[in-house]
Structure 1
């Protein structure tokens, strides 16, 4: 069992590259395990930064996996105080009508909207309060020696390089991870990076003049259209932060919406009820940057018990299942448990990758597929009827029938196991419907034959 001590009782040292969501939470777990932890981050201290960065995706949906990891380090209550519960999805259909779709049938089947910057600051504070944890902001990774292991960092504004030795290096530096590139250099492995041909811009639905929300606050709002997709998360100040997803190119892509009239015309045509909700639409659309969306699948995640990747550095996914942060937090918890179970660091890191990678690969597929669900199907009657059927079956047999979305968002069932169970349930449902249809046809045929026999006998006495 790894306790952050060497066989001679000396305190082990961990270096975490990246002080975002995954890196800061990993520092909390490692400090609790007894490591001395140094965290290096190229950006400035988020606690001193102005609130929000215009144009970034600044809202996140916390679900069961992330909640379990935060609970394990005693931070869940503090995070929930800073969140807004989302009890379901409000679908704004292209014809201007609105429909509420609850996330599930149980009271805990809700998500929690939280501001990214506020959550990162809370995690940094929590890790910084641990004995032996030190943050070094404005430091860029220049070199990783994966066998030592050592990292060499340099101030982003110039200055001397510093080399730091460690027993464990954790790469939590995002989808375009420098740690990953240096870890995998010269090793046998694979790397796949897919950039979606759609991007996004951040827009704002402000409170009304009286400070009240303009739409139902405790819900995720979705505007689906084949030509675009907008998703809005609620904030505690009664505003909502929207992500407008569009193709980069084409007649309704970002390149085509190059005038105020074109921007307003697109929203009016495809998301009509959003027009009155976005008073700063043109200003925000033209001034905010266009973000990219990337999926990363890669191997190896670790090397010789000395270096390991977590979060987006190991498995970035599209945001359409709302699981990127939750999967990263779950990484921290699973890594901690592997370190606790395995006395050999190499065995612990190998077990971590073997445990997690099949499930995060499945999550990548789910996230890609859910993009099409949200854009093209969520507003259609068939989708709503299937949702109602899932809810009815869950109420009738809550242990036997659990919808895929419920397993992914509201349980900690590993992703691949959730998909396998959902497929089994779908096969059973299809068989039951086929059987019911066959029985109905047989009954109708029998009734028809009986009528025919009566007619052949003619009128009775």
Structure 2
């Protein structure tokens, strides 16, 4: 049972969740003159998310730059996340064009490094009040719109939990895929089942070719190895759920055997495993409308992607930036908040809806469709096609740009040249000449 406490100071915005999305939103809003209460249910400033791909795609680099985190990430040893991908046609290995600029990059960095870094920055930002140990238990309503939150606060040992009300023009749910704010605001989630399960572990001293990330498309199984800060590599396997019963009979043996069987498998025998093997057997994709009267959702609360793509952290930061740009003036009373929220929702949908549609379709563990076979095979055979694939995988371009007519025509030409090149050798082998 809670004991009501008198209403605290009013704010322009209350944010539930001080992870990546919530902390970034708080910083970016406060820098635009917004008074922010940033609530975090955990009481430890250094708390972090454990189950994560620990990857920030290149599409999120502009947000990291605006936040001012790039120098700190470099100093902390975050790894620029260039990558190579295995397919049935061989490896896709994107490289910069001759005499061209370096490929865009984001970072691979463990959440134990990143989360305290961005949360501490939020706590130091003028205009942000970080309230640790605060859990949202209800929403305050007035004439059909949300005008604040009811939150329980941590109490001392032997004391009852206290409750307080915090009023604000806007409440932001940055509280993950099972968002309490979304549920309290009655914003339903569209759920896309994921036909894969996933387990990961951290290794130290695990060499990877060129020191870059590896991803294996095994159709339908998946795996990846992402090098991170402090010499730690995250290795994950994402098999078809049909394999789950046998896999769970001997989790450690199954995990290690799966990794050893990968083409150009990382030499895990020579590395030190520094964590348990952790994971999830059921991780559906969630999609919610990102706004309602007086409410906005960012990060996984608005859209939970498939972990095999490593996009969640980047989208958390990007959605925070889109929200801050759209609503900051209105959140301080200098504009129409409903119009600002509608603008944010349109941007969110335009940027991410297509990516999520393809991810949800691929999460069924189906084989590559004809268009994917065309684009992936061309990328394994042609440097320009590989760079185009890299820009899509980095979420710098959307599906329509990735599959534009010129790109598809080029991929077709690449594969036609390949077939013509291999045809004479096939003919010679058959005739014995």
TM bucket (normalised to shorter chain) is: 0.7 to 0.9
Q: What is the TM-score when the length of structure 1 is the normalising length?
A: 0.73
Q: What is the TM-score when the length of structure 2 is the normalising length?
A: 0.77
Distance between the aligned counterparts of 2:204 and 2:416, measured in 1?
Answer: 52
8 Å contact from structure 1 (residues 230, 243) kept in 2: yes
Distance between the aligned counterparts of 1:132 and 1:273, measured in 2?
Answer: 49
The alpha carbon displacement at 1:347 in A equals 0.9
- CA 1:275/1:15 → structure 2, altered by over 3 Å: closer, same or farther? same
Distance between the aligned counterparts of 1:268 and 1:117, measured in 2?
Answer: 27
**Whose radius of gyration is greater, 1 or 2?**
1
1:366-423 Cα shifts (integer Å, max 9, x gaps): 334566899979xx997765115653469xxxxxxx7254156263x5x3xx525623
Q: Which runs of 5+ in 2 are unaligned?
A: 1-8, 421-433
The alpha carbon displacement at 1:149 in A equals 0.6
Q: Which residue of 2 aligns with 1:71?
A: 65
The alpha carbon displacement at 1:426 in A equals 4.1
Q: Structure 2 matches for 1:263-274, cutoff 5 A? A: 264-269=256-261, 273-274=265-266
Q: Which residue of 2 aligns with 1:173?
A: 175
Distance between the aligned counterparts of 2:341 and 2:228, measured in 1?
Answer: 38
**Aligned residues: CA RMSD:** 3.9
Q: Which residue of 2 aligns with 1:345?
A: 337
1:306-340 Cα shifts (integer Å, max 9, x gaps): 22111111111113333222222221222222235
The alpha carbon displacement at 1:58 in A equals 5.3
Would you say 1:134 and 2:115 are equivalent positions? Answer: no
Q: Which residue of 2 aligns with 1:302?
A: 291
Would you say 1:23 and 2:8 are equivalent positions? Answer: no
Q: Which residue of 1 aligns with 2:349?
A: 357
Would you say 1:87 and 2:77 are equivalent positions? Answer: no
- CA 1:284/1:274 → structure 2, altered by over 3 Å: closer, same or farther? farther
Distance between the aligned counterparts of 2:273 and 2:245, measured in 1?
Answer: 14
8 Å contact from structure 1 (residues 175, 316) kept in 2: yes
Q: Which residue of 2 aligns with 1:144?
A: 139
Q: Structure 2 matches for 1:2-401, cutoff 5 A? A: 13-47=12-46, 49=47, 53=50, 56-57=51-52, 59-63=54-58, 65-82=59-76, 83-89=78-84, 91=86, 99=91, 101-102=93-94, 105=97, 106-146=101-141, 147-155=145-153, 158-184=160-186, 191-207=189-205, 213-216=206-209, 218-226=211-219, 228-248=221-241, 250=242, 252-253=243-244, 255-259=246-250, 264-269=256-261, 273-274=265-266, 276-277=268-269, 284-285=276-277, 288-290=278-280, 292-299=282-289, 301-304=290-293, 306-339=294-327, 343-368=335-360, 385-387=377-379, 391-392=383-384
The alpha carbon displacement at 1:228 in A equals 3.3
1:264-321 Cα shifts (integer Å, max 9, x gaps): 5544455683464476779934xx353642311222x2233x2211111111111333
- CA 1:28/1:281 → structure 2, altered by over 3 Å: closer, same or farther? closer
Distance between the aligned counterparts of 2:151 and 2:67, measured in 1?
Answer: 29
Distance between the aligned counterparts of 1:101 and 1:374, measured in 2?
Answer: 24
8 Å contact from structure 2 (residues 149, 167) kept in 1: yes
Distance between the aligned counterparts of 1:264 and 1:320, measured in 2?
Answer: 18
The alpha carbon displacement at 1:167 in A equals 1.7
SS, match of residue 184 in structure 1 = coil
8 Å contact from structure 1 (residues 11, 34) kept in 2: no
1:81-111 Cα shifts (integer Å, max 9, x gaps): 33112332154x89xx995612654413334
- CA 1:166/1:276 → structure 2, altered by over 3 Å: closer, same or farther? closer
Q: Which runs of 5+ in 1 are unaligned?
A: 1-9, 208-212, 395-401, 441-461
8 Å contact from structure 2 (residues 388, 402) kept in 1: no
- CA 1:128/1:423 → structure 2, altered by over 3 Å: closer, same or farther? same
- CA 1:386/1:204 → structure 2, altered by over 3 Å: closer, same or farther? same
Distance between the aligned counterparts of 1:119 and 1:153, measured in 2?
Answer: 26
1:9-57 Cα shifts (integer Å, max 9, x gaps): x99521100111000000001111212211111223242x4x884xx22
- CA 1:164/1:12 → structure 2, altered by over 3 Å: closer, same or farther? closer
SS, match of residue 35 in structure 1 = coil
Q: 2:404 aligns with which of 399, 423, 441?
A: 423
Distance between the aligned counterparts of 2:214 and 2:283, measured in 1?
Answer: 20
SS, match of residue 108 in structure 2 = strand
The alpha carbon displacement at 1:348 in A equals 0.6
Q: Which residue of 1 aligns with 2:4?
A: none
1:180-212 Cα shifts (integer Å, max 9, x gaps): 111226xxxx531123132211223321xxxxx
1:208-231 Cα shifts (integer Å, max 9, x gaps): xxxxx4323631122443463221
The alpha carbon displacement at 1:246 in A equals 2.5
What is the count of residue pairs matched by the alignment?
Answer: 393
Q: Which residue of 2 aligns with 1:398?
A: none
The alpha carbon displacement at 1:134 in A equals 1.6
Distance between the aligned counterparts of 2:147 and 2:116, measured in 1?
Answer: 28
Distance between the aligned counterparts of 2:57 and 2:416, measured in 1?
Answer: 40
